[in-house]
Amino acid sequence: MADRVLTGTRFVHGDWACAEGAISAGCGYYAAYPITPATEIAERIAQRFPVLGGKFIQFEDEIGAIASVIGASFSGLKAMTATSGPGVSLMLENIGLAVMTEAPCVIVNVMRGGPSTGQPTMGAQGDVMQCRWGMHGDVETIALAPQSVQEMYDLTVEAFNLSEAYRTPVFLLSDANIGHLYERLTIPREEELTLVDRKRPTLPPSEYLPYRADESLVPPMASFGDGYRFYSTGLTHDEKGYPDMSVETQDKLVRRLCDKIRRNTDKITRVEALMTDDCEVLVVAYGIAARSAATAVKQARDRGLKAGLLRLVSLWPFPDKLLEKMAEDAKAVIVAEMNYGQLVREVERAVKPKPVRFLPKLGENPHTPGEILEAIRRIDA
């Protein structure tokens, strides 16, 4: 109980794995509001943090939770919250603040049926666009989509690493199925973990400018109490952090904040390709739907159909060029998502004029392999 990294293999559910991923990554602050199907993450953290010295608070609402996460991040701690779609909706304004002030933090969305209160206990993939476009203004975000309990652990660690490297909020898009699914989880030894910490200032306080970046586009980050006495605001600001409403400053700042992510798309992109080298039908899927897709692709190959699966592990920034390249030699692309059309729009855009067949799935469960196999067959026919 007292070890930070609980090395070993266990049979646990996704939410538990996510919580332990955060702990392994060095998360020191967690604030959240209970919401199905993410509550168990908070419950596991509430159990573990007091023993480890981490700070856990159950806030009065999701807005308070995310605001406090940003405060804790600037206090020098790795900070996280977990919620579901309705909670992300509440948090969006402050996630925008995190983007604008460049606060590393992790936001887990264990997605459920929407819109609105929807199906609280059922899985869905309906919040893909929300985490990309839900905030006002021009923002770029990073989003990862685990497909298994193991990935709930691994990708939570990865999410922290990306948030620290790029000084940005990172979303982990899971769903009710994975959150509550029991599977084998292997936690490595502490020495085997690769953890990334934010770049700290090397200049003394008299020379440090909190929002000046080098060619990496990521400014080194001081923490409260380090002696830098820096100022941050959600207002458009100059390199000192002071509000500056000029045209030049807005242009410069918005471009840097977006380019910080856009220009690093190749470094951030994580995918898994299954039998795509010679595929004629390319299936694109993510999260739990990708597991059905993998089975379908294998079944297709058994029947002599040249299908392949591109599983997106990172959804944002969307890897346009990669999709274009992967679809180049295919007859058509199939996108299987547990929603009524979200990431498919990005795929269509990237592979144009390649035909894209969309397979929606609403209601709780991922597609059956049979449904996807049927779609593959139809294209080949």
Partner 1 sequence: MTEEMKHPLSDYLRMDRLPHIWCAGCGLGIILHSYVEAIQELSMDLDKIVTISGIGCAGRASGYVNTDAFHTTHGRALPFATGISISRPDLKTVVISGDGDLFAIGGNHLIHAARRNVDMLVICSNNFNYGMTGAQYGPTTPLNTRTPTSPYGSIENPFNLVALVASSGATMVSRWTVYHVYHLKNAIKKGLQKKGFSFIEVISPCTTGFGRLNKQTPIEMMRQLRDNTKIMKVHPTEATIDPSTEIIIGDFVDVRKPTYGEILRELEAKAR
User: Contact residues for partner 1 (CB under 8 A)?
Assistant: 2, 28-29, 31, 50-51, 53, 55, 57, 59-61, 63-65, 67-77, 79, 93-94, 97, 101, 224-235, 242-243
Asked whether 260 and 313 are in contact (CB, 8 A), the reply is no
Residue among 66 and 300 whose Cβ is closer to partner 1: 66
- Supply the minimum distance, in Å, between the C-beta of residue 193 and partner 1: 23
Residue among 76 and 360 whose Cβ is closer to partner 1: 76
> Is the Cα torsion angle 14, 16, 21, 27 positive or negative in sign?
positive
Residue among 68 and 342 whose Cβ is closer to partner 1: 68
Residue among 70 and 335 whose Cβ is closer to partner 1: 70
Q: Any residues with CB less than 8 A from the CB of 211 and at least 6 apart, and which?
A: 102, 219, 237, 238, 239, 240, 241, 253
Residue among 92 and 327 whose Cβ is closer to partner 1: 92
Pairing of strands 169-175, 182-187: unpaired
- Supply the minimum distance, in Å, between the C-beta of residue 72 and partner 1: 4
Residue among 186 and 233 whose Cβ is closer to partner 1: 233
- Supply the minimum distance, in Å, between the C-beta of residue 32 and partner 1: 12
- Supply the minimum distance, in Å, between the C-beta of residue 95 and partner 1: 10
Phi, psi of 306 (to 5 degrees): -85, 80
- Supply the minimum distance, in Å, between the C-beta of residue 128 and partner 1: 24
Phi-psi category of residue 155: left, alpha or beta, with phi > 0 → left and psi -120 to 50 → alpha: alpha
Distance from the Cα of residue 170 to its chain's centroid: 5
Residue among 33 and 166 whose Cβ is closer to partner 1: 33
Dist. CA 93–CA 100, nearest whole Å = 11
Cα 113–97–337 angle (5° rounding)?
Answer: 25
> Is the Cα torsion angle 253, 256, 260, 263 positive or negative in sign?
positive
Dist. CA 302–CA 315, nearest whole Å = 29
The closest alpha carbon to 52, from 93, 19, 17, belongs to 19
Residue among 101 and 148 whose Cβ is closer to partner 1: 101
- Supply the minimum distance, in Å, between the C-beta of residue 43 and partner 1: 15
For helices 369-380 and 289-302, angle between their N-to-C axes, nearest 10 degrees: 50
Asked whether 33 and 56 are in contact (CB, 8 A), the reply is no
Indicate the DSSP class of residue 370.
Answer: H
Residue among 198 and 367 whose Cβ is closer to partner 1: 198
- Supply the minimum distance, in Å, between the C-beta of residue 96 and partner 1: 8
- Residue entry with tokens 């899985």: 123
- Residue entry with tokens 């196999």: 373
Asked whether 135 and 99 are in contact (CB, 8 A), the reply is yes
- In this structure, which amino acid lies at residue 227? G
- Supply the minimum distance, in Å, between the C-beta of residue 188 and partner 1: 25
The closest alpha carbon to 132, from 141, 124, 120, belongs to 141
- Supply the minimum distance, in Å, between the C-beta of residue 240 and partner 1: 9
